[in-house]
Amino acid sequence: MKGIIFTEFLGLVEQKWDEDMVDDIIEACDLPSGGAYTAVGTYDHREIVALVSELSERSGVAVPDLLQVYGKHLFGKLAASYPEFVNKASSLLTFLEGVESYIHVEVRKLYPDAELPSFETRRPDPGVLEMIYRSSRHLDDVCHGLIEGSIAHFKTEASIEREPLDDGTMFVIRCQ
Ligand code: HEM
């Protein structure tokens, strides 16, 4: 998993708690990387799971809630780092449809070793998008937060429903 995922997570912990919390969770997790992440490096995705579990224990905030808040925060950072991917889309739903067919394709060109999920999309109605998320990393809550971040970015009134499937999770985004 790319270092940006980790540096943004630790940045969020520092913003919501403080630098001591960052140091404490890194120390408690005994990570193979030692917690020294660079944006372009690649690290085991289980390190983020370990850091989030440790933060949950220390803060009393449930792991799914932490991952979702993190996903929303991460979207803001990704959109700021790669504005061309976000500005091209004319609407929230066309943007989300393009995550699989355009954005993550471009990400893969930049970082051939990126570990990306797959999305299957369907538009059952012009104002509705169904996205099936599949990933061996099962970061459904991060995905939920990334969709929330996208909704906030496009300033669109929309709801998110989530439905577990046998081999993934379906997100239904409905614009009001
Ligand atoms: C500007 C927009 C975006 C950029 C530049 C971007 C880029 C990236 C990058 C660099 C990673 C990390 C890959 C790795 O660690 O190896 C990633 C992972 C991920 N992205 Fe995106 N992304 C964007 C938008 C989105 C959106 C809107 C969604 C949700 C609909 C999404 C879903 C995910 C998920 C869930 C992961 C975690 C990996 C996994 O679940 O397997 N991304 N993305």
> How far is CA 70 from its chain centroid?
7
Angle, vertex CA 24, rays to CA 22 and CA 25, nearest 5: 70
Residue 140's CB: how many other CB atoms inside 10 A? 20
Phi, psi of 113 (to 5 degrees): -95, 10
Distance in angstroms between the alpha carbons of the first and the last residue of the chain = 35
> 68-98, pLDDT tens digit by residue?
999 999 999 999 999 999 998 999 999 999 9
Place of tokens 């369907």: 122
Mean pLDDT lowest among 6-20, 36-50, 161-175: 36-50
160 forms beta bridges with 173
Question: Looking at residue 6, what is its pLDDT?
Answer: 95
* Residue 84: exposure state from Cβ atoms within 10 A (0-12, 13-18, ≥19): exposed
102 CA distance to ligand 1 centroid (A)? 12
CATH architecture of 70-175: Alpha-Beta Complex (3.90)
Q: What are the domain boundaries of the chain?
A: 3-61, 70-175
Q: At residue 40, does pLDDT exceed 90?
A: no
Question: Model confidence at 39, in pLDDT bands (50, 70, 90)?
Answer: confident
Write the residue with the smallest CA distance to atom 28 of ligand 1: 146
Identify the residue whose C-alpha is closest to ligand 1 atom 19.
116
Report whether residue 143 contacts ligand 1, using a CB cutoff of 6 Å: yes
